[in-house]
């Protein structure tokens, strides 16, 4: 078999990253999946999805907790309009919520688009427009404000901040905690 045939045959099958994650979460449910340090970020998921870590101390998230977090965020993203094949940008430094957002987008059937935090407004605009992203998950309030200054901000269905927000923003600006809560309610209602 040639490398060209790999995508055509059954070698790859229909095992996706989101399915592999769910299987890993079932297999390792009580084991640590992620570690996070307290006092670094103003996480909007703290107290909602998992307890905050003490300042300068590490806490862990089990696979079971990570799996439910991903399911609720994925359901919330679906409630906000994400459909199979929809693109959602992640505009953040690497941190545990980046991975949670990535897995949530994939689990909801979407396609993650990466935007580096040091990207200029014109680059952000280009990446959002070129990818036809319907929404964006930004790390914090500063990056949300950067997104709001782009031309493409008007066409986005949602703008999500990983961290809590301290000032008022347009209605389509939410926190990851808001999306988690929305998804948890919809998930429990179905």
CA atoms of 126 and 91, how far apart (whole Å)? 13
pLDDT of residue 5: 55
Is the pLDDT at 83 greater than 90? The verdict is: yes
CB 138 within 8 Å of CB 91 = yes
pLDDT of residue 167: 87
Average pLDDT over residues 157-183: 96
3-state secondary structure at position 61 = strand
Mean pLDDT computed over every residue of the chain: 92
Range of the domain at 154: 3-189
In the block, residue with structure tokens 């997104």: 147
| Residue 187 binned pLDDT confidence (cut-offs 50, 70, 90) | confident
Encode 84-149 in three state secondary structure: CCCEEEEECCCCHHHHHHHHHHHHCCCEEEEECCCCCHHHHHHHHHHHCEEEEEECCHHHHHHHHC
pLDDT of residue 158: 98
Per residue in 99-122, pLDDT (tens digit) is: 999 999 999 999 999 999 999 999
Average pLDDT over residues 125-140: 98
pLDDT of residue 9: 53
Can you give the pTM of this predicted structure? 0.90
Q: Please report, for the domain that includes residue 98, its CATH number.
A: 3.40.50.12780
Residues in CB range of 85: below 8 A, 6 or more apart: 109, 110, 111
Domain count, the chain: 1
Is the pLDDT at 77 greater than 70? The verdict is: yes
CA atoms of 107 and 78, how far apart (whole Å)? 10
Per residue in 15-55, pLDDT (tens digit) is: 788 899 999 999 999 999 999 999 989 999 988 999 999 99
């Amino acid at each position: 078999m040639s490398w060209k045939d790999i995508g055509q045959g059954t070698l790859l099958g229909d095992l996706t990253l989101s399915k592999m994650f769910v299987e890993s979460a079932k297999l390792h449910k009580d084991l640590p999946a992620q570690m996070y340090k307290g006092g670094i970020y103003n996480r909007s998921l703290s107290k909602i999805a998992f307890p905050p870590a003490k300042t300068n101390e590490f806490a862990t998230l089990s696979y079971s907790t990570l799996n439910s977090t991903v399911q609720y965020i994925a359901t919330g993203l679906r409630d906000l309009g994400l459909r199979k094949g929809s693109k959602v940008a992640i505009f953040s430094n690497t941190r545990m919520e980046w991975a949670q957002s990535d897995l949530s987008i994939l689990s909801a059937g979407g396609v993650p688009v990466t935007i580096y935090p040091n990207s200029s407004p014109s680059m952000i605009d280009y990446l959002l427009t070129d990818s036809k992203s319907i929404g964006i998950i930004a790390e914090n309030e500063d990056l949300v404000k950067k997104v709001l200054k782009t031309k493409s901000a008007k066409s986005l269905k949602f703008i999500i901040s990983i961290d809590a927000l301290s000032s008022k923003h347009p209605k389509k600006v939410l926190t990851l905690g808001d999306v988690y809560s929305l998804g948890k309610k919809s998930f429990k209602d179905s």
